[in-house]
Amino acid sequence: MSANQVGFALLVLGAFLLVGKVIRVRVGWVQRLFLPSSIIGGVLILLLGPHVLGQIVGGGLAEGGLFTEWMRDTWRVLPGLLISVVFATMFLGQELPTPRRAASLVGPQLALGVAFGSGQYVVGLLLAALVLVPLFAADPMVGALIEIGFEGGHGTAAGMRPVFEQLGFGTGADLAVGVATVGIVGGVVLGILLINWGVRTGRTAILRGNVEASIEEQQGLFRRDEYYPAGTMTSRPASVEPLSLHVAMVSVAILIGWVILEALRWVEQQTYASVLLNGDTPLEIFAVVPLFPLALLGGVILQAIAKRVGAAHLIDHQMMLRIQGWALDFLIIAAIGTLSLEAIGENLGSFLILSVAGIAFNVAVFLLLAPRLIGTYWFERGIGDFGQSMGVTATGLILMRITDPEAKSPAFEAFGYKQLVFEPFFGGGLVTALAVPVIALSGPWPLFTAMLLLFLIATVGGLVYYGPRARAERAAAAMSVV
């Protein structure tokens, strides 16, 4: 594959992203679903590729659909590269909160987030051990797909592909991307339904009356009189373009993560890797851990260094979010466009059971736990975690923006503080990265036991510690209104 072929494949990907945006602006039902342009473009590529158009047209040159094999080869590896960019940018440019303010908001929010993340493993692994493996002859690693697809989203699902393939479960990556697609669409649709229900029953503290987004919000556009800067220029372009400077910082963050991962792999090889499981399987975990969770750690280290040397003002978080958004858009469209419908069809039973169980669990946690863990503004704060647990962080932000359009509640602040603690572990963090290798090496039960214990600590501990405070906080708010 030549450099020109790689470049042309990226150009085609960008063109379909633009087509997806045009459809979002022009088609009403797509707007009402708040579907991202990357998902629309990815579905178009999937329909015009070998699994749909290629099957309809039949053999010859058309068996690959409209796209050549080298285009699809480029798109297949792209998500695994871009996911490191997404994670490296997460904490670059972030200002850490004061401990007192963060502790008051992050506690119940973190308990709810951990309940979502660990509980998805509990449900998935239990289904895998009791239903999917014995009845569908599924691989035990399917037990991790709910958390990878729902909590992690398309980026994590695509980024885990090399791990699945190395462990002999390549179809797991396709199933994870499929689950992620169900999650992000279901998250937006169910989220809006829950918001309307919350408004009608008086559970929302800010919204009153019917929930209706403006036409610009549905189209994903700004009004002509609105102005939102994409970022702040922290260097003079005569010396280095600010965007180039931030891309360079992302590169360094990823390299730091790569050095850490290689060091961990070296230590593993020098110590316990010689231990054999079941007589012939080496005890290797970091050998199959992907780079992206360590890229996140690299970003944290680089941010700490910048603050230490007085250069933190050169890193603009809004600019980092633009880089992250670009990487995520191209990642999603490539991941969906190269999704194997054949793999999902061959594992349709497991796919449907995991998707339905994941949705039911997330709705139950939101309705049962959020009002008992969080005091005032529980709906506005809880809906963000529900959205994230169904798709990606952006889904949670969309739902919070609908319930609290002017940011009157502490929902966004609490959500951001929780992310600082939560993201390094779940939704693509270290727990997500280690879960699949652990299941492959030891089966589903050890990880199930650990996640069940964590789920109980988050729920029972949260209810005991934060429950009375939540009730007292709502009672005090009600008295102040009277």
158-175 pLDDT, tens digit each: 888 888 988 889 889 889
Spatial distance between the Cα atoms of 278 and 288, rounded to a whole number of angstroms: 18
Per-residue confidence (pLDDT) for residue 366, from 0 to 100: 96
Per-residue confidence (pLDDT) for residue 278, from 0 to 100: 54
Predicted model pTM: 0.76
Quick count: other Cβ atoms within 10 Å of Cβ 447?
Answer: 23
Q: Which tops the pLDDT comparison, 415 or 216?
A: 415
Amino acid in the structure at residue 359: I
For residue 234, with 0-12 CB atoms within 10 Å meaning exposed, 13-18 middle and 19 or more buried, which class applies?
middle
Per-residue confidence (pLDDT) for residue 22, from 0 to 100: 93
Q: Which tops the pLDDT comparison, 117 or 482?
A: 117
Spatial distance between the Cα atoms of 481 and 69, rounded to a whole number of angstroms: 65
Per-residue confidence (pLDDT) for residue 166, from 0 to 100: 86
Question: Is 463's pLDDT higher than 60?
Answer: yes
Instruction: Name the least confident of 100-114, 182-196, 323-337.
Output: 100-114
The radius of gyration computed from the CA coordinates of the chain, to the nearest angstrom, equals 22
Per-residue confidence (pLDDT) for residue 309, from 0 to 100: 94
Instruction: Name the least confident of 17-26, 260-269, 326-335, 397-406.
Output: 397-406
Per-residue confidence (pLDDT) for residue 247, from 0 to 100: 95
Taking a C-beta distance cutoff of 8 angstroms, is the pair 87, 428 a contact?
Answer: yes
Q: Which tops the pLDDT comparison, 453 or 33?
A: 453
Q: What DSSP state is assigned to residue 98?
A: P
| In the chain, % of residues over pLDDT 70 | 89
Q: What is the pLDDT of residues 113-147, one digit of tens each?
A: 999 999 999 999 999 999 999 999 999 999 999 99
Q: Give me the helices (H) in 232-291, please.
A: 242-270
Per-residue confidence (pLDDT) for residue 209, from 0 to 100: 59
Tokens encoding 125: 């692994």
Spatial distance between the Cα atoms of 222 and 215, rounded to a whole number of angstroms: 10
Q: What is the pLDDT of residues 278-292, one digit of tens each?
A: 555 566 777 767 787
**Residues facing 277 on adjacent strands:** 281
Q: What is the pLDDT of residues 147-159, one digit of tens each?
A: 999 988 877 888 8
Q: Which tops the pLDDT comparison, 449 or 97?
A: 449
Assign 428 to helix, strand or coil. Answer: coil
Distance from the Cα of residue 402 to its chain's centroid? 20
Q: What integer is the mean pLDDT of 62-91?
A: 83
Q: Domain ranges in the chain?
A: 3-218+231-481
Segment (H or E) for 320: helix 317-337
Spatial distance between the Cα atoms of 161 and 183, rounded to a whole number of angstroms: 18
Instruction: Name the least confident of 105-109, 240-244, 467-471, 473-477.
Output: 473-477
Q: Which tops the pLDDT comparison, 457 or 187?
A: 457
Closest CA to 247 of 263, 228, 231: 231
Quick count: other Cβ atoms within 10 Å of Cβ 164?
Answer: 25
Per-residue confidence (pLDDT) for residue 56, from 0 to 100: 78
Q: What is the pLDDT of residues 319-343, one digit of tens each?
A: 998 998 898 889 888 888 887 777 7
**Residues facing 276 on adjacent strands:** 282
Quick count: other Cβ atoms within 10 Å of Cβ 12?
Answer: 18
Question: Is 464's pLDDT higher than 70?
Answer: yes
Q: What is the pLDDT of residues 48-74, one digit of tens each?
A: 988 788 777 765 545 667 888 889 889
Spatial distance between the Cα atoms of 404 and 207, rounded to a whole number of angstroms: 7
Spatial distance between the Cα atoms of 335 and 42, rounded to a whole number of angstroms: 7
Long-range residue pairs from 203-209, CB within 8 A, at least 24 positions apart, any chain: 203/371, 203/379, 204/379, 204/380, 204/403, 205/376, 205/377, 205/379, 205/380, 205/409, 206/377, 206/380, 206/403, 206/404, 206/408, 206/409, 207/402, 207/403, 207/404
Taking a C-beta distance cutoff of 8 angstroms, is the pair 242, 318 a contact?
Answer: no
Q: What is the pLDDT of residues 360-389, one digit of tens each?
A: 999 999 999 999 999 888 999 999 899 889
Q: What is the pLDDT of residues 7-46, one digit of tens each?
A: 999 999 999 999 999 998 888 888 877 777 888 898 899 8
In the predicted model, what is the mean pLDDT of the chain? 84
Torsion of CA 361, 155, 326, 110, to 10 degrees: 50
**Residues facing 281 on adjacent strands:** 277
Question: Is 297's pLDDT higher than 70?
Answer: yes
Question: Is 257's pLDDT higher than 80?
Answer: yes
CA distance between the termini of the chain: 71
Spatial distance between the Cα atoms of 470 and 343, rounded to a whole number of angstroms: 46
For residue 56, with 0-12 CB atoms within 10 Å meaning exposed, 13-18 middle and 19 or more buried, which class applies?
exposed
Per-residue confidence (pLDDT) for residue 120, from 0 to 100: 96
**What would the DSSP string read from start to end of 373-395?**
H--TTHHHHHHHHHHHHHS-HHH
Taking a C-beta distance cutoff of 8 angstroms, is the pair 132, 142 a contact?
Answer: yes
Q: What is the pLDDT of residues 197-254, one digit of tens each?
A: 988 888 888 876 555 666 766 777 777 777 677 788 888 898 999 999 999 999 999 9
Amino acid in the structure at residue 191: G
* 3-class secondary structure per residue, 170-204: CHHHHHHHHHHHHHHHHHHHHHHHHHHHHHHCCCC
Question: Is 408's pLDDT higher than 70?
Answer: yes
